[in-house]
Structure 1
Amino acid sequence: MFDLIIRNGRLVTASEVLPAGLDLGIKDERIAYIGLPLPGTESVQVIDAAGAYVTPGGIDSHVHIDQGNHPTTDKWENASKSAIAGGNTTVLAFSQQKRSESSLYTSLEQYHAKASGNSYCDYGFHLILTNPSEHILARELPAFVEQEGITSVKLYMTYDPLKLNDGELLDVMMTTRGLGMTTMVHAENHDMVSMIIKRLEANGHGDPFYHSVARPQLVENEATYRIISLAELTDTPILIVHMSAETAVKHVREAQARLLPIHAETCPHYVFLRSNDLAKPDFEGAKYVCSPPLRHQQSDLDAMWQAITNGTFTTFSSDHCPDKHDHPCGKKRGLDAEGKSNFKSILNGLPGVETRLPLLFNEAGEASHHKLTLPRFVQLTSTNPAKLYGLAHRKGSLSPGLDADVVIWYPPGHKFEDGSDQLTITNPMLHHSCDYTPFEGFKVSNWPRKVLLRGKVVWDKDDGGVLGRQDYGTFLKRGKPNIVTGRTGTVPQGMFQGETDLWRKT
């Protein structure tokens, strides 16, 4: 009756930890049964979870893989292998339009060619939109939704090659609103950053630490408030990515309290790392350059944890962007021939797809001392991304009828290879192509023991490591996203009922 049965696990959903002793039956790549123990037969493979927690496969909805502006980053083989080894069965990467390109199909074809046949996990694409022409908004975006199954775009408010002005942001949001797409936004005030960088350079401040000075929290606070205002005006659901600033998060929380569909994301580096890492000597600080930057105080990290716990954040993603450190085209692009550093030239981004789930799982549990509950862990890392990006019909939950994407963790009391009850993260143990991890030396109490993608064991930490094939991952045509927070149709502040109908319906 079943191809595989998982026994003796504690199944975790986005709403509860199910009672111990339930079996999970898998048939034809999908979850077919959750219930009382099933009789075994010789033809059915059985995995004993030994009392460990069992969670849905992780969906890392924010990863950068083989993008042309990052020449030393992961290719699909390494990134997807790293994803699987860290418990992620699905990743959503970016197809980036160049400003000079008049069509989105040019970059999409390139990214399909890079990923097809080279991914160990299932995958999809977001569109990075930099040239929102009338043709793209009126013709191409509708086709991407209906024909390509790509239902999300990412917009930038900073970086010269990528940023859109407010008018362009409004035009795009009016279109994505009508199409039911998820609109992701990198919210930083470009002019504030440019002014500070110019003056830092004039004062001879080029070390990596000054990257954190060049992008203060005010930069994120202002842009966050502004994009929420634009979204309220256009009645557009948005997701503000990689948030790191307390006041910016408060803007999101206040908008959510007014039932606006404003979603938010944070990342592991904003809850575990601080800007003092950027001050490490011998250019080691360059390893920690990302945007928004790491923040200065422990209170900044605590504010992000509070927003994780109280539901402000919708997703917890890695923002995996692993440029090599010891490479002239990687992080060391920020060093000139004489060894002088210029933080402005250091490539932005950190590796993190493999460590995302273990780091957060280490803080989750049923005891009161844990920072978040296990259902909240599942919400942030799997169920909410599935809803927000049009995958809830296949992914994101341990539910009959959905893909059998499953993570089996180690049971209580497990000892790792060195006899310790904690695992120390080191770069050699990871599967990305990057020459460092920002979480070197971090200790975690657990790691994915086995990972199943569509019912097939693709990772077994104790017996073979990565077992899946490089071509097993499939491209996911996604459906229309769901709003996870708030609702559309609210009247913007200070307007009368029906006022926006005078200009929205054109």
Structure 2
Amino acid sequence: MKKIIENGTIVTAADTYKADILIENEQITAIGENLDAPDAERIDAKGCYVFPGGVDPHTHLEMPFGGTVSKDDFETGTIAAAFGGTTTVIDFCLTNKGEPLQNAIDVWHAKSKDKAVIDYSFHLMISELNKEVLDQLPAIMDNEGITSFKVFMAYKNVFQADDETLFRTLKMAKEHGGLVMVHAENGDVIDYLVSEALEKGNTDPIYHALTRPPEVEGEATGRAAQLTGLADSQLYVVHVSCAEAVEKIAEARSKGFNVWGETCPQYLALDQSYLERPNFEGAKYVWSPPLREKWHQEVLWNALKSGQLQTLGSDQCSFDFKGQKDLGKGDFSKIPNGGPMIEDRVSILFSEGVKKGRISLNQFVDIMSTRSAKLFGLYPKKGTIAVGADADVVIFDPNVERTISVGSHHMAVDYNAFEGMKVTGEPVTVLSRGDFVIRDKNFVGETGKGRYLKRARYNQLLAPVDEKLKI
């Protein structure tokens, strides 16, 4: 059925203006004033912003880790994402050394089949890069549309790859048009610091942060950036949490390296003191990189404003406090790493960013949607409101005030990391390819309606900051 969204204020990464939107056959087919289609359903967006659906470039749904599996799967996770104003997620597909890469991809397809309520895609983890693996990648890029590849520089003896693997992956990406992603922490140093802490009997959650100091993130970020310059390739640094990493990204970009940076809402709104909460409550806030001292928050906000960081991922990887996080009682290194972030990503960026004057409204759209769509080969079908784009649309009330709580969230996990936080702004209605997923704050979507997205290869012409966004 045709739909017209009327009376709202459309906001893209470049423009803000009053207009109506005509939707038909899953796409936006017209934008203008006083649009008329006699058989169209009319949706009143008076008093609201109309944003492109959020693109979350960093999720871990139903991911095995630390002897357990993250609690939110492709059903509950994408429902929560939709409530939060996100209409596309890109999840991480984990591989096993020695196995065909397609095996891992097939596992992720099985996890997501008939579950997702919004569109989704996959990144692919690279744990080793030999001739056998290299030979598989062009076909995977062509057939699966997976064009981004994750290399872990941490989690020694689990996920961590060596520098040769990272460098060869960067060379491959340059040749074939891929984007390399890194979890940038020095895993060898962390492994030593963790062993040292445990030997001294330091087992509480706070030691997760103290054994992963900012210096190990900054060092790994700088190393990855230098290797990117040497390979003349392109790099995307996930979940940047501290000033040391921001400094290395800014330095690389000043040299003309194609280095991009993502941060997450938890690093913008929470700090290291949360890991010191008594009665093992600090375990709720264990993820990697860890939360930092509070002063790092303004560094991250300033980096988003200046364009040295470009995107906001949720790093959604939820584990119940009771029954999962408590696997690490008496040994912080056994606490499953991760938290529930997917639902609150957009609202926190708006409330803490736009409402507090840290970023502009257009920057907000770029950070939560457009830039990720461009970097990961989804633009212009995703990430903007334009004729021909998918009708992924969020009607957002910028004035409503609410308190984030486990009692009202839609994730499957038994706590909310932002419990008690007051925010301004909330998605009211969310459409995915023209169909209602959330309507008047109620879920009306359909499980399995989400579509797997094959993505285009990295396009350097789309990646640079738009002229209108330059500071």
- d(CA) in 1 for partners of 2:36 and 2:353? 33
SS of the residue aligned with 1:254?
helix
The aligned runs of 1:484-495 (5 Å cut-off) are: none
In the other structure, the counterpart of 1:81 is 79
SS of the residue aligned with 1:363?
helix
In the other structure, the counterpart of 2:374 is 387
2:288/2:338 contact within 8 Å kept: yes
2:119 paired with 1:122: yes
In the other structure, the counterpart of 2:191 is 194
In structure 2, give the amino acid aligned to 1:132: L
**In the TM superposition, what is the alpha-carbon distance from 1:39 to its structure 2 partner?**
3.0
TM-score (norm 2): 0.95
1:321/1:351 contact within 8 Å kept: yes
In the other structure, the counterpart of 1:415 is none
CA offsets 1:417-473 (integer angstroms, 9 cap, x no match): xxxx510111121111111111001111111000010011110244xx111100110
- d(CA) in 2 for partners of 1:115 and 1:456? 20
2:405 paired with 1:426: yes
In the other structure, the counterpart of 2:469 is none
SS of the residue aligned with 2:90?
strand
2:448 paired with 1:478: no
Of 95, 98, 104, the residue aligned with 1:97 is: 95
In the other structure, the counterpart of 2:383 is 396
Paired positions, count: 461
Whose strand proportion is higher, 1 or 2?
2
2:60/2:70 contact within 8 Å kept: no
- Which has the larger displacement, 220-229 or 69-78? 69-78
- d(CA) in 1 for partners of 2:464 and 2:203? 43
In structure 2, give the amino acid aligned to 1:304: L
1:49/1:411 contact within 8 Å kept: no
The aligned runs of 1:234-253 (5 Å cut-off) are: 234-253=231-250
The aligned runs of 1:41-52 (5 Å cut-off) are: 41=38, 43-52=39-48
- d(CA) in 1 for partners of 2:70 and 2:322? 10
In the other structure, the counterpart of 2:320 is 324
Q: CA RMSD in A?
A: 1.5
1:102/1:131 contact within 8 Å kept: no
CA offsets 1:82-139 (integer angstroms, 9 cap, x no match): 111111110000110023x4211111111101101110010000001113231111x2
2:12 paired with 1:13: yes
1:409/1:450 contact within 8 Å kept: yes
Q: Structure 1: where are the runs of 5+ without partners?
A: 336-340, 413-420, 488-506
Q: Structure 2: where are the runs of 5+ without partners?
A: 466-471
In structure 2, give the amino acid aligned to 1:474: R
- d(CA) in 2 for partners of 1:144 and 1:438? 36
**In the TM superposition, what is the alpha-carbon distance from 1:60 to its structure 2 partner?**
0.5
**In the TM superposition, what is the alpha-carbon distance from 1:364 to its structure 2 partner?**
4.2
2:184 paired with 1:207: no
In the other structure, the counterpart of 1:454 is 433
- d(CA) in 2 for partners of 1:236 and 1:333? 40
2:43 paired with 1:66: no
2:177/2:457 contact within 8 Å kept: yes
Q: Percent identity?
A: 37
**Runs of 4+ residues deviating >6 angstroms:** none
1:262/1:485 contact within 8 Å kept: no
SS of the residue aligned with 1:422?
strand
Cα–Cα, structure 1 residues 376 and 486, in superposed 2: closer, same or farther, change >3 Å?
Answer: closer
2:346/2:368 contact within 8 Å kept: yes
CA offsets 1:351-408 (integer angstroms, 9 cap, x no match): 110000011111344x7x5111111011111111111111014100001101000000
In structure 2, give the amino acid aligned to 1:8: N
- d(CA) in 2 for partners of 1:441 and 1:126? 33
- d(CA) in 2 for partners of 1:51 and 1:355? 22
- d(CA) in 2 for partners of 1:331 and 1:197? 18
**In the TM superposition, what is the alpha-carbon distance from 1:486 to its structure 2 partner?**
5.9
SS of the residue aligned with 1:250?
helix
SS of the residue aligned with 2:368?
helix
The aligned runs of 1:123-162 (5 Å cut-off) are: 123-137=120-134, 139-159=135-155, 160-162=157-159
1:391/1:481 contact within 8 Å kept: no
In the other structure, the counterpart of 1:226 is 223
- Which has the larger displacement, 273-282 or 165-174? 165-174
**In the TM superposition, what is the alpha-carbon distance from 1:199 to its structure 2 partner?**
1.3
